[in-house]
């Protein structure tokens, strides 16, 4: 994992992150290319292909507006409010054809990266998940695109675009929101220190639970109870609720070790996917 990505990105938009966003938009355009029927179901979702693509186009537009300093209230950060905001926005937006939606996804991704690249300072944009450093907003955009791009690729039986290099640039966003998306009922009473390492990278981060309170650091935990070594692609898909951790464990994509390795399988259940 790129050290700059793993430890967070601040200030001006890193060139590589902008490239990852634009390439992901191009990959999603390719996935939607030539699709005439967008009424098929997305696996694991209540949306059709057309609805998922429309949501992604609208979300990219939302983030581009935020990057340009516009105020766009969108729920209160809870899963329930975000789901309601998604449903409302889809009800007001009738486009479901693949080609226009692909063009909008790419156009709004470019508008967002252009805005973030043009200005490194100013107030932190207020996103659906709270205020964010501008470069973390770019990481949010990439993470969101990869999650729904993966969904579209699966639905259309085409290769997905999630890879280790792009996952590294998702880490700053994931670290920023982990405390907010912790499942309070699951973490209640838990005191434990985790270190998470992405396989093949040179970075790691720490997650500490102190009687349920969650603290995330861009460095490994001091004397962790459990270290989780995980394949980067599996990490992102599990974090976004796209894959169960159990098959990944069975395939050797996840390894837990340390003083209390039995804490490893518990870790994904401590959070609700954003």
Distance between CA 102 and CA 209 in Å, rounded? 41
124 and 79 fall within a common domain: yes
| Residue 54, SS3 per DSSP | helix
For residue 72, what is the DSSP state? -
107 and 160 fall within a common domain: yes
Predicted TM-score (pTM) of this structure: 0.92
164 and 199 fall within a common domain: no
Predicted pLDDT at 3: 40
Structure tokens at 120: 């490194």
Among residues 140, 175, 210, the one where a domain terminates is 175
φ, ψ for residue 137, nearest 5 deg: -60, -40
Among residues 142, 160, 175, the one where a domain terminates is 175
Higher pLDDT, 216 or 125: 216
Among residues 141, 175, 209, the one where a domain terminates is 175
162 and 233 fall within a common domain: no
Contact yes or no for 101/32 (Cβ under 8 A)? yes
134 and 261 fall within a common domain: no
* pLDDT tens, position by position, 88-132: 999 999 999 999 999 999 999 999 999 998 876 667 888 888 889
157 and 107 fall within a common domain: yes
45 and 123 fall within a common domain: yes
Percent of the chain with pLDDT over 90: 80
Contact yes or no for 154/160 (Cβ under 8 A)? yes
Contact yes or no for 141/109 (Cβ under 8 A)? yes
Mean pLDDT over the full length of the chain: 92
160 and 30 fall within a common domain: yes
Total structural domains in the chain? Answer: 2
Predicted pLDDT at 59: 97
Higher pLDDT, 94 or 76: 94
Percent of the chain with pLDDT over 70: 93
CATH number of the domain residue 36 falls in = 1.20.120.450
142 and 210 fall within a common domain: no
Q: Torsion angle, CA of 240/198/256/150, rounded to 10 degrees?
A: 30
67 and 131 fall within a common domain: yes
22 and 145 fall within a common domain: yes
CATH number of the domain residue 246 falls in = 3.30.1050.10
Largest CA distance in the chain: 55
The CA radius of gyration of the chain, in Å to the nearest whole number, is: 18
**Distance (Å) of CA 245 to CA 249, 266, 274:** 6, 10, 17
168 and 202 fall within a common domain: no
* Strand pairing class (130-131; 192-198): unpaired
Domain with 113 in it: 3-175
Higher pLDDT, 7 or 107: 107
Mean pLDDT on 239-262? 94
């Amino acid at each position: 994992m790129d050290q700059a990505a793993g430890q967070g990105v601040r200030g001006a938009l890193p060139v590589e992150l902008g490239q990852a966003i634009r390439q992901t938009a191009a990959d999603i355009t390719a996935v939607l290319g030539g699709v005439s029927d967008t009424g098929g179901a997305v696996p694991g979702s209540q949306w059709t292909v057309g609805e998922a693509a429309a949501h992604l186009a609208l979300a990219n537009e939302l983030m581009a507006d935020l990057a340009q300093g516009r105020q766009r209230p969108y729920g209160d950060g809870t899963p329930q409010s975000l789901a309601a905001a998604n449903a409302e926005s889809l009800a007001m937006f009738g486009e479901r054809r693949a080609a226009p939606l692909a063009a909008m996804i790419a156009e709004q991704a470019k508008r967002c990266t252009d805005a973030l690249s043009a200005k490194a300072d100013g107030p932190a944009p207020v996103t659906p998940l709270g205020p964010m450093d501008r470069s973390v907003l770019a990481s949010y955009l990439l993470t969101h695109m990869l999650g729904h791009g993966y969904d579209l690729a699966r639905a259309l039986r085409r290769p997905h675009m999630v890879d280790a290099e792009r996952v590294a640039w998702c880490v700053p966003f994931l670290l920023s929101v982990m405390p907010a998306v912790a499942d309070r009922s699951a973490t209640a009473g838990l005191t434990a220190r985790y270190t998470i390492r992405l396989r093949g990278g040179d970075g790691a981060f720490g997650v500490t639970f102190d009687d349920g309170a969650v603290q995330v650091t861009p460095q490994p935990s001091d004397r962790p109870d459990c270290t989780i070594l995980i394949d980067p692609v599996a990490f992102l898909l599990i974090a976004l609720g796209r894959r169960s951790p159990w098959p990944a464990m069975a395939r050797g994509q996840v390894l837990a070790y340390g003083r209390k390795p039995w804490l490893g399988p518990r870790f994904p259940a401590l959070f609700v996917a954003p």
